[in-house]
Amino acid sequence: MSPQAQQENKHTISVLVDNEAGVLARVIGLFSGRGYNIESLTVAVVDPKQALSRITIVTSGTPMIIEQIKAQLDRLVPVHKVSDLTLDGPRVERELALVKVRGLGEKRVESLRIADIFRAHVVDSTQESFVFEIVGSTEKLDAFIDLMAPLGLAEVSRTGVVAIARGVDTI
């Protein structure tokens, strides 16, 4: 096999599913049962009228494995549509994190300064702590959290990636 065929790449896959009991278990069971990676998974109702949810999965694998993942997802009965946003062209990907930082004095000021650079918002504060809300790419969130580490990083909660294609087309 060519080295290209062996290379593992990250893909962001959107799955439109019926919002019914067990559907998430089917998707997760598929990944664990067949040994595929899940780097991130998010799910929420996106069309309450038609009871549709959208699952965004970030996964990685060789091109053949990615094809398999998509075909296996598509085979699930409550799945309406599977799109590989990574292959479909330019897309917007966002993640949200809530980051709690504890500290006093210079460290506290420094954390505020960095938050400002990253356009993170303070959504909660006490005398000795902040909760920052930050939105952006996974890499941006990672960088922010890394910088907070020496400044009193206490706790992180992240949503996982949501994504949508740029332009007029829909999935």
Partner 1 sequence: MSTEPMNGSQILLKALSEQGVDVIFGYPGGAVLPIYDELFKQNHIRHILVRHEQGAAHAAEGYARSTGKVGVILVTSGPGATNAVTGLTDALMDSIPLVCITGQVPTHLIGNDAFQEADTTGITRPCTKHNYLVKKTGDLARVVHEAFYVARSGRPGPVVIDLPKDVAMGLGHYTPATAVGHKSYNPRTEGDPQLIAQAIELMAKAKCPLVYAGGGVINSGPQASERLTRFIRDTGFPCTLTLMGLGAYPASDKQFLGMVGMHGTFEANHAMHDCDLMICIGARFDDRVTGRLNAFSPGSKKIHIDIDPSSINKNVAVDIGIVGDVGNVLGEMAGLWKARKNKPDKKVLAPWWKKIEAWRSRLCLRYKPSSSIIKPQYAIERLYALTREHKDVFITTEVGQHQMWAAQHFGFDKPNHWMTSGGLGTMGYGLPAAMGVQVAHPKALVIDIAGEASVIMNIQEMSTIAQYRLPVKVFILNNQYMGMVRQWQELLHGGRYSESYMESLPDFVKLAEAFGAAGLRATKPDEVDDVIKEMLAIDKAVIVDVMVDQKENCFPMIPSGAAHNEMLLGPDDEAGNPISDEGMVLV
Name the site residues for partner 1 (rule: CB under 8 A): 5, 17-18, 21-22, 25-26, 29, 33, 64, 67-68, 71-72, 74-80
DSSP structure string for 121-147:
EEEEEETTEEEEEEEE-HHHHHHHHHH
Smallest separation, CB 16 to partner 1 (Å)? 9
Q: CA–CA separation, 136 vs 17, rounded Å?
A: 25
Of 80 and 158, CB closest to partner 1:
80
Nearest approach, Cβ of 41 to partner 1 (angstroms)?
Answer: 17
Q: How far is the CB of 6 from partner 1 (least distance, A)?
A: 12
- Tally of helices (H runs) and strands (E runs) in the chain: 6, 9
Residue 65 beta carbon to partner 1: minimum distance, rounded to whole angstroms: 10
Pick between residue 49 and residue 105 the one whose CB is nearest to partner 1.
49
Closer of 50 and 137 to partner 1 (Cβ): 50
Measure the CA–CA gap between 97 and 20, rounded to whole angstroms: 27
Q: Answer yes or no: are the C-beta atoms of 52 and 45 closer than 8 Å.
A: yes
Residue 24: closest CA among 73, 70, 63, 96: 73
Angle at 149 between CA 147 and CA 150, to 5 degrees: 90
As measured in angstroms, the least distance from the Cβ of 169 to partner 1 is 21
Nearer of residues 3 and 105 to partner 1, judged by Cβ: 3
Nearer to partner 1, 41 or 66 (CB): 66
